């Protein structure tokens, strides 16, 4: 049965996260319902990452199997007519049967957006944290650089996380000002529960002068959730992109400079 890969965007505000849950509105549930209705039989959807309740996506990647005879280029318009307005399918392509949206993901890009304007913007408020205070972006950038590399990120992981191996690689962590916004962008090979929101919360405290950039290595070494900053709320967080090496040549460099530069500029 052919396997299809799709790129999905969603406004996470009105979802209880990506992962299917009984009696709750989830992105996976809504996607499975739409695809199953089109196919006339139950279809399971696998996503690259389980975003939390309230977290958004511009480039979540999913796969599903179907032998529906619809031409490939019809899937996007037909799915978008079937889906509710807070989810959109951006592309659909056929992939080899061994492709797996989660297991084959090599890097992910998340962005946390902080709006520092005095008055919140009603039109973008669902996708940004409103934090009307000045931030020292230079200090935040220096702190962010300490997170790059391969570390045990226990300090930046929810105490509720059941994962045993908390070693992850952050390929890039940058803080940039874009008008009234401060954007924290993190590229990594995988993320622990709440990891980006705790990173953004710790960098926010650096930006307010409550911590110094030089404290970051000690926070990482502590392997203690209490050593890092607060978990920021979900609305500011967006999963921007999921990266795969072309599956015909899986030995490729999973996060080569050029590839990642392209990805991040999207």
Q: Catalytic residue numbers?
A: 52
**Helical pair 137-145 and 195-207, crossing angle rounded to 10 deg:** 130
Task: Name the minimum Å distance from CB 128 to a second copy.
Answer: 11
Total site size for a second copy, rule CB under 8 A: 22
- Residue 112 annotated as part of some ligand binding site: no
Residue 73 within binding range of a second copy, rule CB under 8 A: no
CB 195 within 8 A of CB 49: no
Q: Can you tell me which of 19, 36, 66, 80 binds a second copy, judged by CB under 8 A? A: 80
Candidates 43-51, 62-70, 76-84, 185-193: pick the segment binding a second copy (CB under 8 A).
Answer: 76-84
In whole angstroms, the minimum distance from the beta carbon of 50 to a second copy comes to 19
- In eight-state DSSP terms, residue 249 is G
In whole angstroms, what is the distance from residue 266 CA to residue 261 CA?
Answer: 9
The set of residues, in sequence order, having a beta carbon less than 8 Å from that of 71 and lying 6+ positions away, is none
Question: Is 112 a residue that touches a second copy (CB under 8 A)?
Answer: no
Look-up of token digits 């996380």? 161
Mark the segment that binds a second copy (CB under 8 A) among 44-52, 78-86, 150-158, 176-184: 78-86
Nearest distance, CB of residue 83 and a second copy, angstroms: 10
* Beta-sheet pairing, 149-152 with 56-65: unpaired
What is d(CA 242, CA 106) in angstroms, rounded to the nearest whole number? 8
| Interacting residues toward a second copy by CB under 8 A | 9-11, 56, 76-77, 80, 85-90, 118-125, 127
């Amino acid at each position: 049965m052919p396997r299809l890969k799709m790129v999905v965007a969603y406004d996470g505000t009105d979802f209880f996260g990506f992962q299917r849950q009984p009696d709750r509105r989830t992105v996976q549930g809504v996607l499975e319902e739409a695809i199953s209705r089109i196919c006339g039989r139950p279809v399971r959807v696998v996503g690259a990452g389980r975003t939390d309740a309230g977290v958004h996506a511009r480039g979540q990647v999913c796969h599903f199997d179907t032998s529906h005879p619809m031409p490939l280029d019809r899937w996007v318009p037909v799915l978008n007519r079937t889906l509710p307005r807070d989810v959109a399918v951006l592309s659909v392509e056929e992939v080899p049967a061994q492709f797996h949206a989660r297991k084959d993901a090599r890097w992910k890009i998340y962005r946390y957006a902080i709006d520092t304007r005095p008055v919140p913007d009603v039109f973008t408020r669902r996708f940004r944290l409103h934090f009307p205070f000045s931030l020292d972006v230079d200090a935040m950038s220096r702190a962010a650089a300490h997170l790059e590399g391969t570390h045990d990120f226990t300090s930046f992981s929810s105490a509720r996380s059941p994962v045993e191996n908390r070693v992850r690689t952050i390929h890039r962590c940058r803080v940039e000002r874009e008008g009234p916004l401060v954007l924290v962008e993190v590229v990594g090979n995988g993320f622990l529960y709440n990891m980006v929101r705790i990173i953004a919360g710790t960098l926010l405290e650096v930006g307010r002068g409550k911590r110094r950039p030089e404290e970051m290595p000690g926070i990482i070494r502590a392997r203690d959730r209490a050593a890092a900053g607060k978990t920021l709320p979900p609305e500011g967080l967006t999963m921007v992109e999921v990266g795969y090496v072309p599956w015909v040549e899986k030995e490729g460099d999973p996060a080569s400079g050029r590839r990642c530069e392209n990805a991040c500029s999207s």
